[in-house]
């Protein structure tokens, strides 16, 4: 970032596939804000309980204390005294998250959001496309393809579940590049 607003809030979005370091980057930015003695509120969706209910946890086990909420309205209620608001796994919230982030930024807060930009079928995921449009700053991170080693921007589901939201790790997903990604197809997974 070369220019940081001084008299207003703003929205930063960190997006990419599974295993790309989105949460790690979110945690890094929020810890820097805490070191600068800014009041930071950190939120995660209640549906994501892979590691902990009280912490955001990256795949490499780096953690930061967070508040588990089931709706974006709760974020707005609980972030009133903060300078910086962090939101992880934004794709799991409904589209009301967009207005919440806009209201927070309009009230002078720095809003840092991390999430998957597309799901296992490579279609836009939840509120992420609109958040990308609303953001002043966007960081797209890539993983490493688990098949060939090229830059990966897709999350390949390797389990048989068909729901859009399936919480998992390496047991259910692989990072894949464009060439190695196989769009979801029942025949390819089952046979």
Q: Are 180 and 145 in contact (CB under 8 A)?
A: yes
Give dist(CA 51, CA 53) in Å, integer.
7
Model confidence at 190, in pLDDT bands (50, 70, 90)?
very low
The SS3 assignment for 116 reads strand
Give dist(CA 167, CA 156) in Å, integer.
13
Whole-model pTM: value is: 0.88
Q: What confidence tens digit (pLDDT) does each residue in 8-40 have?
A: 899 999 999 999 999 999 999 999 999 999 999
Which pLDDT score is estimated for 191? 41
Indicate the CATH number of 10-142 among 1.10.357.10, 3.40.50.150, 3.40.50.300, 3.40.50.280: 3.40.50.300
Which pLDDT score is estimated for 185? 61
Which pLDDT score is estimated for 5? 60
Higher pLDDT, 48 or 43: 43
Residue of 25, 89, 134, 174 with catalytic role: 89
Region at 74 (left for phi over 0; alpha for psi -120 to 50; beta for the rest): alpha
Q: How far is CA 76 from the centre of its chain?
A: 18
Q: What confidence tens digit (pLDDT) does each residue in 53-105 have?
A: 676 776 676 777 889 999 999 999 999 899 999 999 999 999 999 999 999 99
Which pLDDT score is estimated for 167? 67
Which pLDDT score is estimated for 159? 84
Higher pLDDT, 118 or 63: 118
Tokens in use for 83? 């300078």
- Is residue 89 among the annotated active site residues? yes
Return all residues near 133 (Cβ < 8 A) that are at least 6 apart.
Answer: none
Which range is least confidently modeled, 2-11, 87-96, 142-151, 174-183? 2-11
Give dist(CA 112, CA 130) in Å, integer.
14
Higher pLDDT, 181 or 55: 181
Extents of the domains making up the chain: 10-142
pLDDT beyond 70 at 107: yes
């Amino acid at each position: 970032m070369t220019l940081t607003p001084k008299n207003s809030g703003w929205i930063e979005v960190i997006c990419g596939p599974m295993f790309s370091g989105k949460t790690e980057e979110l945690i890094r930015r929020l810890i820097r804000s805490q070191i600068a003695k800014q009041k930071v509120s950190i939120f995660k969706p209640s549906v994501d309980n892979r590691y902990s209910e009280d912490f955001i946890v990256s795949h490499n086990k780096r953690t930061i204390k967070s508040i588990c909420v089931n709706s974006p309205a709760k974020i707005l209620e609980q972030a009133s005294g903060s300078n910086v608001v962090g939101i992880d796994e934004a794709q799991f919230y409904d589209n009301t998250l967009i207005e919440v982030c806009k209201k927070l930024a309009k009230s002078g807060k720095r809003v840092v959001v991390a999430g998957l930009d597309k799901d296992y079928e490579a279609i836009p995921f939840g509120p992420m496309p609109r958040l990308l449009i609303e953001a002043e700053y966007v960081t797209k991170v890539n993983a490493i393809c688990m098949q060939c080693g090229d830059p990966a921007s897709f999350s390949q589901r390797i389990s048989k579940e068909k729901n859009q939201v399936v919480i998992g790790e390496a047991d259910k997903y692989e990072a894949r590049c464009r060439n190695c990604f196989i769009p979801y197809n029942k025949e390819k997974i089952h046979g």
